C-alpha cells in the first residue's frame, strides 16, 4: 500500500489584479479585480515505502507548494491527500514525528549557537529517547563526516557544512518520510556529490521514502529511478526516468573531431548540426539511423575521432516543457 496518496490536488490563490498608475490605484479602492493563480491544478500520484522519487519542473511549477501541502503547512483548495494514513493539515503529533521537510533556502538551526544545541532541542521536541538519539546522531555524523563541527557556531560554518547540519537536524527523529526541496542549491560540485551520496545511502540504509526536488539534473540522474514532472501546476509525466529518455530521446549525437577543414553545409546532409567549431562538430541524427550516419561520416569526411552519445537529460527534460505529447 502506498505511504503517500495524492488525488486531484488543487491549490489556488486569489491574486489582486491592479491596473497601473494612480488612477488604477484609486479604482482598486472601490472595485478590486481578482484572478485565481493555480499553483497546483489537479495533481494525482502514489508513492510506495522506500521510494526515492524526483519531483521536477521549472520555477513556479508547483513543486514546493505540493510539498508544503504534503507536510501540512498549507491547506489545499480541493483534493485528497494521505501521508502515512494521516491527513497532513490535521497536524497530529503522531504524523509530525514521522516526516521531515528540508528546504535548501530555509534555516532551522539556531544561527548563533552550535548545531549540537539545535539537535538537542529537536530531540526534546520529538521526544526521542536518549539511547536512540545517541545512536542516530552518531550514524548521521559518521555518514556526513561532520564530527569536528558539532560545537562550532552555525554562522561560522560553510554553506556545505551548514546544509549537512540541517539534514542531521531534520533526521534526528528518524522520519519515515523525507521531503527534500532543493537540498543542494548553492553548493559547489564536490559538495553536491557528497550530499547526493548521503541521500542515496540514507535511503538504502533506512528504507526511507524520499521526494526530492532539484534544478540540478545530476541529482535526479544519480538518485531517482522514478520522476514526477509538473509544469504550471499540472502533472506532465509520472514514471521511470529511463522511460522519458526512451520517449523523448529519439535521436543520438555524433561528436566528431576532424583532421582537416570541412564545410558545415556538407555536414548538414548527415543530420542537424547542433554545434560546429572546427575541428569539432556535434550532429543530431535519428536514433534508428545513427550507425549509418556514423559510417557516412567516417567514409566521406576526414574524421580523427568520433563518439556516438545519448542526449543530455537536461535537453530531454527541456523538450517535455515545450509541450510535446507524452503519450
Clarify whether residues 283 and 145 are in a common domain: no
**pTM for the whole thing?**
0.78
CA atoms within 13 A on the CB side of 194: 15
Q: Which of 227, 245, 263 is the last residue of a domain?
A: 245
- In the prediction, which pLDDT does 324 show? 53
Clarify whether residues 235 and 262 are in a common domain: no
Clarify whether residues 236 and 167 are in a common domain: yes
- In the prediction, which pLDDT does 57 show? 85
Clarify whether residues 17 and 78 are in a common domain: yes
- In the prediction, which pLDDT does 84 show? 96
pLDDT at residue 195 tops 80: yes
In this structure, of 15-19, 182-186, 290-294, 298-302, the range with the lowest mean pLDDT score is 15-19
**Of the candidates 150, 139, 144, 149, which has an alpha carbon nearest to the alpha carbon of residue 197?**
144
Percent of the chain with pLDDT over 90: 61
Mean pLDDT of 294-317: 85
- In the prediction, which pLDDT does 190 show? 86
pLDDT tens-digit series, residues 25-79: 676 666 777 667 889 999 999 999 999 999 988 888 899 999 999 999 999 999 9
Clarify whether residues 152 and 289 are in a common domain: no
The CATH number of the domain holding residue 260 is 3.30.70.980
pLDDT tens-digit series, residues 136-183: 999 999 988 899 999 999 999 988 889 899 999 999 999 999 999 988
Clarify whether residues 202 and 259 are in a common domain: no
On average, the pLDDT of the chain sits at 88
Give domain status of residue 317, yes or no.
Answer: no
Clarify whether residues 169 and 290 are in a common domain: no
The CATH number of the domain holding residue 21 is 3.40.50.300
pLDDT at residue 327 tops 60: no
pLDDT band at 322 (very low <50, low <70, confident <90, very high): low
Clarify whether residues 217 and 180 are in a common domain: yes
- In the prediction, which pLDDT does 156 show? 93
What is the rounded CA–CA span in Å between residue 317 and residue 321? Answer: 7
pLDDT band at 312 (very low <50, low <70, confident <90, very high): confident
pLDDT at residue 200 tops 90: yes
Give domain status of residue 171, yes or no.
Answer: yes
pLDDT at residue 321 tops 60: yes
Whole domain around residue 268: which residue ranges? 251-309
Specify the 3-state DSSP secondary structure of 43: strand
Give domain status of residue 320, yes or no.
Answer: no
Q: Are 300 and 286 in contact (CB under 8 A)?
A: no
Q: Are 118 and 109 in contact (CB under 8 A)?
A: yes
**Of the candidates 40, 182, 55, 172, which has an alpha carbon nearest to the alpha carbon of residue 106?**
182
Residue 72 grid cell:
501540512
Clarify whether residues 232 and 124 are in a common domain: yes
Report the domain count for the chain. Answer: 2
pLDDT band at 304 (very low <50, low <70, confident <90, very high): very high
**Helices 115-125 and 159-171 meet at what angle, rounded to 10?**
20
pLDDT band at 223 (very low <50, low <70, confident <90, very high): very high
Give domain status of residue 72, yes or no.
Answer: yes
Amino acid at each position: 500500500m502506498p505511504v503517500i496518496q495524492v488525488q486531484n490536488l488543487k491549490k489556488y490563490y486569489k491574486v489582486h489584479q491592479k491596473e497601473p498608475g494612480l488612477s488604477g490605484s484609486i479604482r482598486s479602492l472601490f472595485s478590486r479585480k481578482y484572478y485565481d493563480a493555480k499553483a497546483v491544478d489537479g495533481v494525482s500520484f502514489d508513492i510506495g515505502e522506500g521510494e526515492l522519487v524526483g519531483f521536477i519542473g521549472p520555477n513556479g511549477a508547483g513543486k514546493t507548494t505540493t510539498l508544503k501541502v504534503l507536510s501540512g503547512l498549507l491547506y489545499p483548495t480541493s483534493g485528497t491527500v494521505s501521508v502515512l494514513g494521516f491527513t497532513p493539515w490535521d497536524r497530529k503529533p503522531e504524523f509530525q514525528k514521522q516526516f521531515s521537510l528540508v528546504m535548501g533556502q530555509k534555516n532551522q538551526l539556531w544561527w548563533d549557537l552550535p548545531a549540537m544545541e539545535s539537535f538537542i532541542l529537536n530531540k526534546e521536541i520529538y521526544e526521542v529517547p536518549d539511547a536512540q538519539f545517541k545512536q542516530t546522531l552518531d550514524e548521521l555524523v559518521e555518514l556526513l563526516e561532520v564530527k569536528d563541527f558539532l560545537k562550532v557556531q552555525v554562522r561560522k560554518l560553510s554553506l556545505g557544512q551548514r546544509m549537512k547540519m540541517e539534514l542531521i537536524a531534520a533526521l534526528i527523529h528518524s522520519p519515515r518520510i523525507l521531503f527534500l526541496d532543493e537540498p543542494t542549491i548553492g553548493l559547489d560540485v564536490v559538495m553536491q556529490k557528497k550530499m547526493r551520496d548521503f541521500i542515496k545511502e540514507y535511503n538504502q540504509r533506512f528504507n526511507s521514502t524520499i521526494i526530492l526536488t532539484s534544478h540540478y539534473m545530476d541529482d535526479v540522474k544519480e538518485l531517482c529511478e522514478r520522476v514526477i514532472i509538473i509544469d504550471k501546476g499540472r502533472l506532465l509525466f509520472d514514471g521511470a526516468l529511463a522511460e522519458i529518455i526512451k520517449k523523448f530521446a529519439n535521436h543520438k549525437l555524433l561528436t566528431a573531431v576532424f583532421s582537416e577543414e570541412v564545410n558545415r553545409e556538407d555536414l548538414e546532409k548527415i543530420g542537424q548540426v547542433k554545434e560546429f567549431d572546427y575541428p569539432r562538430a556535434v550532429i543530431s541524427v535519428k536514433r534508428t539511423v545513427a550507425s549509418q550516419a556514423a559510417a557516412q561520416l567516417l567514409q566521406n569526411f576526414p574524421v580523427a575521432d568520433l563518439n556516438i552519445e545519448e542526449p543530455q537529460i537536461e535537453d530531454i527534460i527541456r523538450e517535455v516543457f515545450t509541450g510535446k505529447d507524452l503519450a
